[in-house]
Structure 1
Amino acid sequence: MDSLIQVQAVVETPDYESEFVCPWEVPKFQPFSLLRLSGEMTYPEIGLVVAQLAQYNHIELANEKQVVLRDILKAEGLVLPGGIQVISEGQKPISPSCCGGLETWREWIDFLQTGDSPWLGHDPSPWMENQGYFIRIWSDGGMEPAKNAFYIDVSLSDFERGLRQVEQELQAFLFCIESWAQEIEFVESRELLQKFNECFDIGIL
């Protein structure tokens, strides 16, 4: 893929008012910033993603870590704010907006077959269109016309390659979750990996 274009899976960091309470280590972070998912994440970064998963799905984070993680395993239909971000050198990134979720990331792959833009959030409302030899990704205008929308063009081959890379990075991220769970002595580490795999359709058999 052209090194000037990056396609990456991201998760939005949690919101908090005074102090972020969590039963395991997390890094310092700004609320509503984006964290790239990959196999190169640190344990505190992995912990932050898991903490966001709990908080966003109304699982009490103030409990003991074993309780929180088992509550995650018991929950159904888990979602995470985020999705896929596209970065082009010299331009603003186009990022998932409000109500966009990582759980729908495979809709980007489906788009290549259907031509139907995946849901990328609102305010702004990013969207994309297939122009044949390239994909045009718009920063806004998916719900109604937007005067100040800009776009990033990605060749079809780079777009496909970028999505394959996203899938590989998400799979590597899954194994980081298992390793992180082992590090904090959660005995059901493999089940936690499987839970993420199931909820976010990552494709580990």
Structure 2
Amino acid sequence: MTTFREVTADHIQDTLDGPEGTVGRQRATAMRSLFRVLKRERLLFRDLVRHLPMGDLTGIPRPVPSDVLAGLLDQATAPFARFSIALAAMHAVPVAEIRTALTADLLVTQETAPDPDYPAVRRITMRPPPATRSSSRRSSASPNRPPCATSAPPTQSEPRNWPRSGHPPSPMPQRKPVAVWHRVRHHPCVMVMQPVLEIFAADDFALWPVGEQESYGYLVLDGELTPAEVGTAVMRIADCNNFEPEEEQGPRPTDPLGAFLHGLLTMPNLFAAGGFRVTDTATDTVFVEPGCCNGLEAWRDWREVLDGTGCSSFGHDPSSAAERVGDTVRLTLDADAKDGSPVIELPMEQVRALVTGAEADLRAFLSLAGTWAEQHLPTHAAAVTAALARALDLELTE
């Protein structure tokens, strides 16, 4: 074999046969990321591992049986020992979190569920540090993203993560927020799925108005963005595809605007760093966060989870994944986490409704971006709108 284009499905299967558990999962994640980038860079025509099963994902921790728990508590005489047993046995708090937990980290709230079988639900959550909590519905920091190459933003003289993409590296993470489960019943109004675009600050950008954004955060794409936020999103998607053109794309224009938009308007396979993020708004717990190498153009992978192969992953660092299990869908924030990861299982119909809502938000953004382009890029409006539709894998509507 002399080129990746000679790889077949049998080669993929031979590579994955053997290792199980974390090793097999990490190998599958690496192959998905590699082939996704190779296809985006047009070194491959077909991504053979797009829907590669992740396998061996950890389910939701189950409480210790009451009789066993009672025996453990009887043997623990100190209050802190009993408290530690409750955290570990009932709420699945990792050992590292128990050792470093502070009293101020515990947030206890009372919630009344509309279901008569659940008149009062107790929810306990380890409070994340202030820096990791989102202060805006529009944009939120990404504390769980370790670096893909370096923690510093790229400069004009430094190479990016991938030679020809505009995908910047991510910073080192802070301490992770950890969900502590206590028989919490989730309702559709609690879980939210949003299309998010990975962004970074561009203080020197002057081709059109953009908003003030922090680097390595996310911008939620919907139909309620301000003109400056739409400008930020268009700038980011164009920059993701801003590299030296191939011969068939023609020479790059000499004017600054035409040069910046050239890749977006001429590339056959576009990339928009981000994806669909799933959050429990009651506890600010993230269950799916787009990782490095994941793009919004692959949002239809969620349809594969529901109606196709039954599983999909969404980049790495974190290695978020979704897997169909019977009539539920299991969401895992980081399948490769060594110290545990937030996991939840939702009914398939609820996930289907979430995907439909996120798709509607994405379409609303595209419509808003079309109107924005007519006002700010009148000579390129039609071409930019069509390119954004391709970057988001949406069809244009009249």
Q: Tell me the number of residue pairs that the alignment of Structure 1 and Structure 2 aligns.
A: 199
Cα shift at 1:58: 2.4
Q: Using the alignment, how far apart are the partners of 1:91 and 1:169 within structure 2?
A: 20
Structure with the bigger RCO (C-alpha within 8 Å, sep 6+) is 1
Of 58, 83, 92, 2:285 maps to 92
**RMSD between aligned residues:** 2.2
Q: Which amino acid aligns with 1:119?
A: S
Query: Scaled by the length of structure 1, what TM-score is found?
Result: 0.86
CA distance in 2, matches of 1:26, 1:145: 36
Q: Distance in 1 between matches of 2:356 and 2:261?
A: 30
Whose radius of gyration is greater, 1 or 2? 2
| TM-score normalised by L of structure 2 | 0.47
Find the aligned partners of 2:304 and 2:319 in 1 and give their Cα distance.
19
Counterpart amino acid of 2:391? C
Contact 1:12 1:32 (C-alpha < 8 Å) held by counterparts: yes
Structure 2: gaps of 5 or more residues = 1-186, 245-254
* C-alpha contact (below 8 Å) 2:193/2:354 kept by paired residues: yes
Change (3 A) 1:157 1:82: same
- Partners of 1:185 and 1:204 in 2: how far apart? 18
Equivalent residues of 2:239, 2:260 under 8 A apart = no
Whether the aligned pair in 2 keeps the contact of 1:171 and 1:204 (CA below 8 Å) is no
Paired residue for 2:306?
Answer: 112
Q: Give the drift of 1:186.
A: 2.1
Give the CA deviation at 1:51. 1.1
SS in 2 for 1:198: helix
Per mean C-alpha deviation after superposition, the further-off stretch among 128-137 and 76-85 is: 128-137
For 1:193 and 1:200, locate their aligned partners in 2 and report how far apart those are by CA, in whole Å: 11
Q: Deviations over 1:10-57 (max 9, x none)?
A: 1000366xx442411111111110111111111111111111112222
Gaps of 5+ in 1: none
1:151 is aligned to 2:343: yes
Contact 1:128 1:137 in 2 (8 A): yes
Mapped partners of 1:51, 1:98: distance in 2: 19
Shift of 1:179: 0.8
Q: Percent identity?
A: 25
Q: Contact 1:22/1:51 (CA < 8 Å) preserved in 2?
A: no
Show the counterpart of 1:64.
256
Q: Cα 1:20–1:132, aligned 2, differ >3 Å: closer, same or farther?
A: farther
Assess if the C-alpha contact under 8 Å between 1:171 and 1:203 holds in 2: no
Q: Distance in 2 between matches of 1:14 and 1:124?
A: 18
SS state of the match for residue 49, structure 1?
helix
The whole-number CA distance in structure 1 between the counterparts of 2:262 and 2:378 is: 9
Equivalence for 1:171:
363
User: Could you tell me how far 1:66 is from its partner in structure 2?
Assistant: 4.9
Question: Match of 1:174, SS?
Answer: helix
Structure 1 stretch 171-180 or stretch 125-134: which is displaced more? 125-134
Q: Does 1:7 align with 2:200?
A: no
